[in-house]
Amino acid sequence: MDNSLQLKKRLISNALNLCKNKSLTGIERPSAFLFDKIEMSFYDKTFNNIINNQEYLNRIGKIHPKVPTILEMQSSNSSDAILMNIFAHPEVKDWKPLRDLLSINSNDDIEFGWNPVHENEKWKKTEIDVKIGNSIFEAKLTETDFKSKHLNIVLRYVDVEKLIDLKTLTKDEIVSNYQLIRNIVTAKKYGYKFHLLIDDSRTDLRNEFDKVKNSIIDKSLANSIELITWQQISTCVSVDLKEFLTEKYF
């Protein structure tokens, strides 16, 4: 079973129901539903907060990589959209259950698209989906994997061989799960915790996460790495946002 494909179908179906129930409009495609306007992808309280925050507003302006006539977060498949629906909500810091789940504090700054410094990255910089205090998060929804890179590129990260047993992740000089490795190296460098956020249907991504976590040599580092599902998060937010997340995503 293709977990990503099944999830895409669910998200399209949910989007069609949203449009029917709330008089929204958009275009159904085989792999995604594209909302006509960016605000249709967001819960109203979240979107109102976004348009009053210039950094957030810049963030939602990213162009879709495959459909240059729309914004990336107009797609039902956008992991950035579900991330911002939650963490750009004006009340997010008030939800103690969420703070406890993610080990964050009410006074922590929230920064989308944070760029850590890695000396080996001269051109394409690592981008962390969101940093909250001393925790960093990688958001996934329908993405098929965590990308692969040649071993020579991975070895350029400082002390990566001391942190992770790369032999277990390498075949024919190609290292799998590069994005997870990069996030783990970042967490170690800055002394942060790292959380992967996925839909609970993505057993394929969970298996890859477990594979990488089991390859971590530094056990204290391994203990700071955690997988959390969007469904778990939805139980820790306000009732109205939970209803929106359930209708649009679950």
106-147, pLDDT tens digit by residue? 999 999 999 999 999 877 889 999 999 999 999 999 999 999
Report d(CA 83, CA 88) in Å as an integer: 8
Residues of the chain with pLDDT under 50: none
| pLDDT reported for residue 123 | 75
> Can you list the alpha helix ranges (DSSP code H) found in 106-202?
151-154, 160-163, 178-190
How far apart, in Å, are the Cα atoms of 22 and each of 19, 41, 224, 244, 247?
5, 12, 41, 12, 11
Q: What is the pLDDT of residue 1?
A: 67
Classify each residue of 170-202 as buried b or exposed e, where b means 16 or more C-beta atoms within 10 Å of its C-beta: eeeeebbbbbbbbbbbbbbeeebbbbbbbbebb
